[in-house]
């Protein structure tokens, strides 16, 4: 996602950029439907304060990663439901089948979270990057 903003602060290799975005309520009322947001970006172009810059972020990548993570948790939950149902049959606890399924589903989601966290490691959140300085 590319946006245009103005550099308002520099902190070493990072620049704070002020961008104007559409508000969530745009189009439903007759008020100003924009809001200013500040984001940190890698200053690869050596932009100075008050320069108008183009900033590119990896918002689409983050959305797809969130969708994949949701799918993994959902699969773990369903697996837990099925495993709990099967375990209730093994222990001849037909009257407690729902409790076994709920407990196994909760355990599966927790285990899935721990495994996912371990496998993803300490991934650094990718900051937006300043592509170029506009004239």
pLDDT-above-70 percentage for the chain: 84
pTM (global) more than 0.85: no
What value does the mean pLDDT of the chain take?
84
DSSP state of 25: T
- Long-range own/partner contacts, residues 19-25 (CB < 8 A, 24 or more apart): 19/55
Q: Which residue has the tokens 């990057």?
A: 129
Report the range of poorest mean pLDDT among 2-11, 52-61, 84-93. 52-61
> pLDDT category, 84, cuts 50, 70, 90?
very high
Model pLDDT for residues 15-58, shown as the tens digit of each residue: 999 998 776 655 566 665 778 889 888 898 889 999 999 988 76
C-beta separation of 38 from 55 below 8 A: no
Q: Work out the average pLDDT over 62-70.
A: 79
3-state helix, strand, coil in the chain (%, to 5): 45, 30, 30
The pLDDT assigned to 15 comes to 92
User: Which residues have CB under 8 Å from 83's CB, separation 6+?
Assistant: 104, 108
Three-state DSSP class for 97? helix
């Amino acid at each position: 996602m590319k946006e245009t903003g103005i550099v308002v602060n520099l902190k070493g290799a990072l620049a704070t950029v002020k961008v104007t975005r559409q508000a969530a309520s745009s189009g439903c009322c007759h008020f100003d439907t924009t809001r200013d947001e500040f984001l940190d970006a890698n200053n690869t172009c050596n932009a100075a304060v008050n320069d108008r810059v183009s900033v590119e972020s990896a918002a689409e990548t983050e959305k797809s990663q969130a969708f994949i993570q949701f799918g993994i948790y959902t699969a773990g939950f369903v697996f837990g439901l099925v495993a709990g149902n099967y375990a209730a049959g093994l222990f001849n606890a037909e009257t407690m089948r729902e409790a076994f399924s709920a407990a196994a589903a909760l355990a599966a989601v927790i285990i899935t979270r721990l495994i996912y966290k371990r496998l993803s490691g300490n991934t650094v959140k990718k900051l937006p990057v300043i592509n170029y300085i506009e004239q």
